[in-house]
Structure 1
Amino acid sequence: IRAGMQDFVMRNWSMVRTGSTSSQKSLFFNMRRVRARLEAEAASEGVELDGHQLRELIATEIGVSLKDVEMMEGRLAGTDFSLNAVQSDGEDGREWIELLEDENEQASDRFERERDGTRLREWLGSALGALSEREQKIIAARKLASTPRTLESLGEELGLSKERVRQIEAAALLKMRRKLEPREGELRAMMG
């Protein structure tokens, strides 16, 4: 019966769940009593304990970690507030919930990312379209593939030396760069 009553008190003491482990339950029900006794003993001996020393003694006395004592102390010290409570009096008083930051991507950021991605794909497609079929194949295999192919393997496939494949690749990249130069400012803005 006592355990059932303690569970009920723990569940209903606060809107925020206080704890369910045995050390947290022990702290919840014993910390104030142990703190009062330790403070009284220290006062009778003429010793003044600071907060940290007192928390260490409580942890030792109850047999829990210092971290658990600090967490429970914070929970017991605070009270529950509604997120819909107004911060201050007056017409412009905001509710606490208005201060919570939405960690999800904002619609404007998502729109910009999608729009920029579409524009980049269009520009890249246009730049690739200015290349010959052989140049496109080399650029796709060397720069756009998830695992880039070697100059040697492309040379064997195309019947070229690896040096010639490197030269074609360099020339193709230069053509693409020239095609994209008018968009350089926009590209920097997107990337920066």
Structure 2
Amino acid sequence: MAHIDDPETQRANLLFIKASMKEPLLARDLEQELARRWREHGDERALHQLVRSYTRLVVATASRFRNYGLPMGDLVQEGNVGLMQAAARFEPDREVRFSTYAAWWIRSAMQDYILRNWSIVRTGTTSAQKSLFFNLRRLRARIEGNPSSSGLSAEGRRQVAEALNVDEKEVETMEMRLAAADQSLNSPLADGGEDEWQDFLADERPSPEAVVIGMRDSRMRSRWLMEALGELSPRERTIIAERRLRDEGATLEELGRVLGVSKERVRQLENRAMVKLRASMMKRVGAAEDLLLEA
């Protein structure tokens, strides 16, 4: 749904557009001179003249994106930010016209704004999704021959995927995303009804009883493990602690240097300690499955 500005905003936008159209275009030599004065001497008057001369480029770019349902004035302001970024980064020695360079920055600033504000759900988080977001409607109209077509055929999705060098699944996902409008979970299911969409969302978190039982079982397993470790020799406890109870366990070679034995001896001691631990733990539980955490 397109955004409609209030009359005051429309007048302000119109005044800005008219002022932009009155700014004279710059010849290449003057453009280069202004850019050098700003870049080499920090001449703000040169910067302002350079930027004002290309605000018409901002307006023209904003008009291309006005069908995304966002305020024209906001698009223009975002484009002005991009124009200022272009002026700050422009290198006149590269012999490129400023308008060519600035066009990319202006378009990028507007596209980022659209992606941030078109929906409350973030859209276009990858380059493929961004390309699909801004090109899918145009390509669909060209392929299907009907701008109001309800959806692409399988062959149409394949053609779009090839044209934009993306996966067909991403085309299908973006097509569904563009066809669906944002909807509040507090919206009623039916006119005049009291039930809301959120009332039918399942809570997949564990119940309070399951949380309490899990905490109790975890404490019990920890106590069993500490008691079993206490039955090991100091060297065996060191090996288990360093090899099994750390996120990044020590290597056999590292422990061998610390304990003054070969890495093969460390492996033998670790295996023996694990056998002792299992036997000790089994004496404390009624069944082997009691040692396992539920998925």
Compute the TM-score of the two structures, normalised by the length of structure 2.
0.37
- What's the counterpart of residue 123 of structure 1? 224
Alignment of structure 1 residues 1-192 onto 2, 5 Å: 3-4=5-6, 22-25=66-69, 56-58=146-148, 70-71=179-180, 81=188, 85-86=193-194, 98-102=199-203, 104-182=205-283, 183=285, 184-188=288-292, 190-191=293-294
Q: How has the CA–CA distance of structure 1 residues 105 and 3 changed in structure 2, closer, same or farther, with 3 Å as cutoff?
A: same
CA distance in 2, matches of 1:71, 1:187: 47
Give CA deviations for 1:48-74 in whole Å, capped at 9, x if unaligned.
xxxxxx994337xxxxx96577335x9
Q: Which structure is richer in relative contact order (CA contacts within 8 A, separation 6 or more)?
A: 1
AA aligned to 1:3 is D
Structure 2 residues not aligned, in runs of 5+? 10-64, 71-143, 150-173
Distance in 2, Cα, partners of 1:158 & 1:108: 46
CA contact (8 A) 1:24 1:68 kept: no
Distance between the aligned counterparts of 1:187 and 1:85, measured in 2? Answer: 50
How many residue pairs align between the two structures?
133
Normalised to the residue count of structure 1, the TM-score between the two structures is: 0.53
**Equivalent residue number for residue 13 of structure 1:** none
8 A Cα contact 1:55 1:69, kept in partner: no
- What whole-Å deviation, never above 9, does each CA across 1:90-148 have from its counterpart, x for those lacking one? xxxxx765423235553233323322321221121121111111110011011112221
8 Å CA contact retained: 1:127, 1:180: yes
Contact 2:188 2:197 in 1 (8 A): no
Unaligned runs of 5+ in 1: 8-20, 27-53, 60-64, 88-94
The question of whether the paired residues in 2 share the 8 Å contact of 1:152 and 1:161 is answered with: yes
